[in-house]
Amino acid sequence: MAALKPGQSSSKTDPAPAGLFGYQERDVDEGGFFRDLAELEYRLVDSNGAEAQAWTVVIVDRDAANTDAVLDVKQGLYAPTITIPDPAAVGEWRIEWRFRVETGDPQKTSFTPLYVVAADHPIADGYVQVQEMLDEGVPVAMFTFTRIARAIKTASELFETWTGRHFEPRLITVDVDGEGSPIKQMGMPIIGLANVEFTFTTFSPADLPIEEGDLRVYNRHIRNAMTQPDDRDDPRIEFLRIENFRYPRETLLGDTDLLSSTIGFPLSQQNIKISGMFGFTDPDGSAFGRTPSLVKEAVMRIAMGKLQPLWVTTGGGANIGVTGPVASERTIDQHVTYGDLADKGTTGAFTGYFTGDPAIDQIISTFRRPPRLRSTSP
């Protein structure tokens, strides 16, 4: 979740602008692409539910000099400057949006979450903020806010490394390989796409335009709040095909040149450019979804374990490193025996395979990316 401090403004040039918004049709099979809008405006609602900024018009014209559209993607994403008033209530705010896809259409509404950080807290680069750690009982007298923010960053990076995923919306443009089939598997769950295009092919891109109606985007967890089947575990884009034909003679249902029906995504290196929002998020009715609650809990637990000064854990204290799970204890003599974290037996995933804490490791196991299987062509 994007975060700002009181008195701070977002910027369209930020890697993940706090006021980023995009709309896609959610209940149609041809959805998955963000739509250019005819009208868009927003207001800020603070953590107490009070209006903090009245409705403000967003400049959606992509040809305007002061447009709020994100111009390094093809379509559908907007990032107006968001300014948090000072003073401001700390906690989760909402940016509420209302818009029309076409002039004269019925007005639609949506929202994106925004976390406002206390003025004396650093903005933590992770899945939770300092105040959320304090709310769980971390003593202010023992740790500086900077130390807590650093522990959050470390914990978030570790969780991403262990799971092979990220759990927040991120605006990403990536060049990927065409593999000579109508399907392109993606390594990241798709939230929504702003552009898919060939960068070079046997034929020129002008001969083979890719239109939205030609592609099926597997992001139903966002469009339809559908997690069975869960497209986050099998994210991909795919040319639409007629079922009665077998590849490579399948014919597209859209308007793309029929050459694409036998080529799909041409076999080559980094010949497809894909732009959009990616991340493993839970559907909550917002534009991009939210970080799963269990992920935030695991990150806080890991961060709390990282708060112990490194000097104590590695060189200056009696206990070196992190202990394993409790194997036995006696309450009368206060004797505790810990297991060995190096033990990776058949029950390792449940006794602390990653961190030594089963409560954390079971969450990590739940959110780990499935294995990616590949084959070679003869």
Contacts of residues 306-312 at CB distance under 8 Å and 24 or more positions apart, as own/partner, are: 306/151, 306/154, 306/155, 307/138, 307/142, 307/143, 307/147, 307/148, 307/151
In terms of residues, how long is the chain?
378
Measured distance CA(24)–CA(217) in Å, rounded: 11
Task: Indicate the CATH number of 1-119 among 2.60.40.1930, 3.40.50.970, 3.20.20.140, 3.30.590.10.
Answer: 2.60.40.1930
Alpha helices, H only, 46-144: 130-135
Residue 329 has pLDDT above 80, yes or no: no
Q: What is the DSSP letter of 110?
A: E
The answer to whether residues 223 and 193 touch, using CB atoms and an 8 Å cutoff, is: no
Percent above pLDDT 70 for the chain: 78
pLDDT tens-place string over residues 262-307: 557 877 788 888 999 999 999 998 999 999 999 999 999 999 988 8
Measured distance CA(42)–CA(54) in Å, rounded: 8
Measured distance CA(23)–CA(164) in Å, rounded: 27
**Rg of the chain's alpha carbons, rounded to an integer?**
24
Every domain of the chain and the residues it spans: 1-119, 170-278
To which residue do tokens 């597209």 refer? 252
pLDDT tens-place string over residues 178-223: 887 888 999 899 999 999 888 876 555 545 667 777 888 999 999 8
Cβ neighbours of residue 342 closer than 8 Å, sequence gap 6 or more: none
Measured distance CA(194)–CA(171) in Å, rounded: 10
pLDDT tens-place string over residues 20-61: 999 998 877 678 999 999 999 999 999 999 999 999 999 999
Across the chain, mean pLDDT equals 82
Exposed/middle/buried for 30, CB within 10 Å: 0-12, 13-18, 19+?
middle
Q: What is the DSSP letter of 160?
A: H
